[in-house]
Amino acid sequence: MPKGEPTGKVVVKHEREEAVIRRHPWLFSGSVAKIEGKVQPGDVVDVVSQNGTWLARGFINPQSEVPVRVATWNPNERLDDEWLWNRLSQAWQKRVQLGIPNETDAFRLVYAESDFLPGLIVDCYAEFTVVQIYTPAMDRWRETIAEFLSELVRPKGVFERSDLDTRLREKLVPRVGPVRGESPPERLAVTENGLKFLVDVWSGHKTGFYLDQRENRLRSEPYLKGERVLNAFSYTGSFAVYALRAGAKQVINLDTSSEALKLAEENAAINGFANSVQSLEGNAFQVLRKFRDTGEQFDAIVLDPPRFAPTKATVPNALRGYKDINWLAMRLLKPGGFLVTFSCSGMVSAEMFQQVIFEAAHDAKRDVVIVERLGQSRDHPVLVTFPESEYLKGFVCWVW
């Protein structure tokens, strides 16, 4: 595991020094002038200017598109076990200070760079803690992370879901399974805003649940009480349960995954709404077109699609996709209906997404008013020096 002492230096190109000085935590390959010393993936390195001035300290992976992830701008801070414990403790105390553990037993404890722990995600689900590790440095610390989390949070078990794409890009093998303590059951029950949800931490999306949408689900609830609600890209149906609690008479959960739809039905049932949900398996673009052609109408629609733009190169196509699906939704809404729409593509800014809504409204010939702007929950804080940590944006639109 990292012992805190740098094994080498990374010299930054002169024109890229400012980004490090301004505390952006990523050093891209194009910013590196040279690497000094015999470094291995996961080693601690000092980041210096071309004249030798110390700038920062972080972890290196020469095989990555982001070869250095900065972890401190304090020259006296060692990146060792004590540093790791302090960072984990600080992340926990921040959530406690915000009152999050009192509101729910399902929340994000560590959000990588936003908690100054690059390469590490930690989510809490009731009596279990789930980790995602996607850099060599954090991979070396795997057992220590599990040990520290066991002391800090005292879960029944620490479970690993290190199977995300980022890990592959870091040249690490995917890994899923228990790390410490008990193995979680196939379904974990959690409570959020007075509602219960079943979570599959073994194979569900992300670490099992969309924790970043927790506060948006509550804020959207008053707009989802119409007679008929469509929950597109529904996953396990969390927005549907909030809609039903608000007073919706019928909600259609639409998703491509039969397993997710089955879990959505279970989530409706455990909250007492078993007879008010309908599951529809299919491609949202195709199904919404069919609804348009057959004259279907809804009082409210939720659009929470997967990430359409994983890279800058895919942004133009993503924007076309966002426009198309929102245009279709606007065509399906009754006058005065509400559209709750999201983009989780970090490459698509809130301004770009609002432009998409404008273009969709123009083409649909509907008058649209934005009544609420939505973002990721407080347990996914945005580091101001790292705009990439803000990825989720949404609007509640009133459609006439």
- 268/371 same-domain check: yes
Establish if 310 belongs to a structural domain: yes
Of 125, 153, 186, which residue constitutes the final position of a domain?
A: 186
Residue 39's domain is classified under what CATH number? 2.30.130.10
* Residue 188, token pair as written in the block: 């974990």
26 closest CA partner among 123, 109, 133, 112: 112
Number of domains in the chain: 3
Residue 367's domain is classified under what CATH number? 3.40.50.150
- 101/218 same-domain check: no
Establish if 379 belongs to a structural domain: yes
- 222/336 same-domain check: yes
Establish if 150 belongs to a structural domain: yes
- As annotated, the active-site residues are 344
Per-residue b or e along 273-286, where b marks 16 or more CB atoms closer than 10 Å to that residue's CB: beebbebbeeebee
Instruction: Please give the pLDDT value at position 2.
Output: 47
Q: Does the CA dihedral 262-263-266-267 come out positive or negative?
A: negative
Cβ neighbour number for residue 351 with a 10 Å cutoff: 9
| pLDDT per residue of the chain (400 residues) written in tens, 0 to 9 | 445 789 999 999 999 999 999 999 999 999 999 999 999 999 999 999 999 999 999 999 999 999 999 999 999 999 999 999 999 999 999 999 999 999 999 999 999 999 999 999 999 999 999 999 999 999 999 999 999 999 999 999 999 999 988 898 899 999 999 999 999 999 999 999 999 999 999 999 999 999 999 999 999 999 999 999 999 999 999 999 999 999 999 999 999 999 999 999 999 999 999 999 999 999 999 999 999 999 999 999 999 999 999 888 999 999 999 999 999 999 999 999 999 999 999 999 999 999 999 999 999 999 999 999 999 999 999 999 999 999 999 999 999 9
- 37/111 same-domain check: no
Across the chain, which distance is largest between two alpha carbons, in Å? 70
- 136/156 same-domain check: yes
Instruction: Please give the pLDDT value at position 349.
Output: 94
- 252/382 same-domain check: yes
Q: Strand 44-48's sheet: what is its strand order?
A: 26-27, 68-72, 54-60, 44-48, 8-12, 32-36
CA distances from residue 141 to 47, 134, 146, 177, 304 in whole angstroms, order as listed: 22, 11, 9, 16, 34
Instruction: Please give the pLDDT value at position 312.
Output: 87
- 164/221 same-domain check: no
**Rounded to whole angstroms, how far apart are CA atoms 50 and 384?**
27
Are 133 and 162 a contacting pair, CB within 8 Å? yes
- 296/375 same-domain check: yes
- 92/235 same-domain check: no
Residue 86's domain is classified under what CATH number? 3.30.750.80
Are 345 and 391 a contacting pair, CB within 8 Å? yes
* Residue 341, token pair as written in the block: 């729409």
> Which distant-in-sequence residues (6+ apart) come within 8 Å of 189 by Cβ?
126, 196, 197, 198, 199, 270
**Rounded to whole angstroms, how far apart are CA atoms 239 and 221?**
8
Establish if 106 belongs to a structural domain: yes
Establish if 191 belongs to a structural domain: no
Establish if 164 belongs to a structural domain: yes
Are 129 and 155 a contacting pair, CB within 8 Å? yes
Instruction: Please give the pLDDT value at position 1.
Output: 42
**Rounded to whole angstroms, how far apart are CA atoms 340 and 242?**
13
Domain that holds residue 50: 8-72
- 64/166 same-domain check: no
Instruction: Please give the pLDDT value at position 3.
Output: 59
- 268/154 same-domain check: no
- 148/269 same-domain check: no
Instruction: Please give the pLDDT value at position 316.
Output: 96
